[in-house]
Structure 1
């Protein structure tokens, strides 16, 4: 799975940082080998205790509405290339179909790159009035994917999302999209905390939220656990959605690929073995 294998380019560690406890210690957020083994062993049990509403029937219905567009996805490619390590064919096809189904007026992407090329391609083909805002503190990949003239038609914030005006998100309304591809790490001052605690509660009802690198059942792939990435956004999001009547699950890409593969085989058979990792939510109250 491409999205499972992408580690990205890591910046150098801060040599001034002094650790309170060593990695793998029970006080450290960095998991040990035993922690990773325990997480893998407990994966099946996560499906037995789901304090959130998967809305399975609604997901299946939506999949059949979106599915015909998945087959058309390749016809829209101009900037986007599915052979990349960050946002593969399955996630890309769902994103493309969501844009076509929702027809948003505004899209704010927090974390940009290959995902942005899908939005730009859809805007060129169909959604000519779509207003695009990209928030990307490391914009080199994004800038390298843009075509001549794209800069004039988009807004790019080359800052961490915590450092841009929070009012940026106030323009989002019904069927508009907040697209999140964060650092995936909850820690003091992180983008994950800012988005979950400050931005999501501020959104208007009807806004649709995408979060990348979330896999059913809110656990990371075994290969990532073995690499001891120690990302924790998925666990925080699971807690956020538990007993939550304000935000609901619209579409869980990973769940569809795992539990309803016949839908994938029907509409996008070339991706059936490449499980995507995104979840789509909507604020409903």
Structure 2
């Protein structure tokens, strides 16, 4: 069965109660095991592209990336070559037998390391003399083509007609949050920076479009480093798991903590997927003994 025919759309909306508050969760995590969440929405236009129009996808970033895994799944389906560039990795990470990086390689991703001192210039040069059958997906899926898939998401939210006018989605580059805010001006869109700080997120969003008034960036109470284990992240993750839904351990916790601390209305949370990376993250928590001290 082709991937496009097996995707579960529109994704359902679940209701949960957290700290005596009602939240609704747009279950984009259930769209597909690997090609799910906001990465599915960002890659929607490429998924509609006939296989013979392209033969190679290039991307870059970190090895915890949900986008990396989603692109790998798409390229396997489309029979496109997938090349992914990162900075040098430790032998431990290269040899892991779980997590996003492991699964992406199993799906056929070709991984190439670039030395730290050359990385930035190398990434900047990727678009020079591109063949027409090669497409570059910027880190995190931050491409203007993402707008097509996020419009489908926006339409699904409107059609659900829940009478809830606040949405929430975590941000790496802020692409999903931005496009949702532009397409749903009658909604408040909450987000938090999960990669870098608030200034970095504003810079990333502004490189695509001026930040609209209905996009509200919630500043976390403390500075979190991307993909680093934190006791409070594990605690909120476990509480959410008890509510009946598994979220990712990298992007979701910071936003959920901010929503509980800084908002009070009913909110639709857009589940951005990424739970495939929890297996490797939980091993990191276990190494720090956090699993036994929350």
- Could you state the TM-score of these two structures normalised by the residue count of structure 1? 0.34
